[in-house]
Amino acid sequence: MATAASLPSRLHHTAYVARDLEATRHFYEDIIGLPLTATWCEIDELFGAERVYCHLFFGLADGSALAFFQFAKPQDQELFGPPLAFSPFRHIALNVDKETQQGIEERLIAAGYAAPRTFVLEHGYCRSVYVTDPNDMIVEFTLDNPDAEKFAAERQTKARSELKRWLAGDHTSNNTYR
């Protein structure tokens, strides 16, 4: 039986693909009242191709967030966006400490989980272990970088300008933490 110390501490974020980031921002920030806390513009080699995307984070009171992705390429948007059942860009992420993440990885390996059902991404601002559950839902176990609070403060000061830049067509990665 797991103890409280070995359980994820809180929801880190839950992620979805959005059709229009500005409409999404307007709804969650202006109407619902959740603050836009970060805009990450990324370029990653994922699933056999370079993926160019932007994602927004909307903060919740406990420090968790709702995240929404939009892709630069229409074919990526169609591939990973609704209504596709499997998408690594729709998942639930749970915050864990180093020991808990390591224990989860060890148990996944022992249970026979291997790629593509599991994979690790070193984002720089966090290290993420992803696994597809038996229901085909992706769950991410996120270990924040020790400087995560500093990074978050930096992202918040630039969230609107980074979104504007990305929406205007400048898809340059702003992840300088890798």
pLDDT, tens digit, 9 for 90 and up, residues 6-23: 899 999 998 888 888 998
- The mean pLDDT value for 80-85 works out to 66
* Domain map (residue ranges) of the chain: 4-167
pLDDT above 80 (res 85): no
The strand pairing partners of 138, in sequence order, are 91, 132
**Topology classification of domain 4-167:** 2,3-Dihydroxybiphenyl 1,2-Dioxygenase; domain 1 (3.10.180)
Nearest C-alpha neighbor of 141 from the set 110, 170, 176, 105:
105
pLDDT above 80 (res 84): no
The reported pLDDT for the residue numbered 82 is: 60
Nearest C-alpha neighbor of 174 from the set 115, 114, 125:
125
Tokens linked to 45: 């080699």
- The mean pLDDT value for 50-60 works out to 94
Residue 2 — very low, low, confident or very high, per pLDDT cuts 50/70/90? low
More confident residue, 38 or 85: 38
User: How far is 10 from 22, CA to CA, in rounded Å?
Assistant: 28
Q: What percent of the chain has pLDDT over 70?
A: 94
Give the DSSP letter of residue 31: I
Helix ranges, the chain (H): 21-25, 74-80, 98-110, 148-167
The reported pLDDT for the residue numbered 173 is: 94
- The mean pLDDT value for 150-169 works out to 94
pTM attached to this predicted model:
0.68
- What's the whole-number average pLDDT of the chain? 88
pLDDT, tens digit (0-9, with 9 covering 90-100), for 124-153: 999 999 988 875 768 898 999 999 899 989
Mean pLDDT lowest among 30-34, 60-64, 69-73, 76-80: 30-34
Q: How many CB atoms lie within 10 A of CB 120?
A: 12
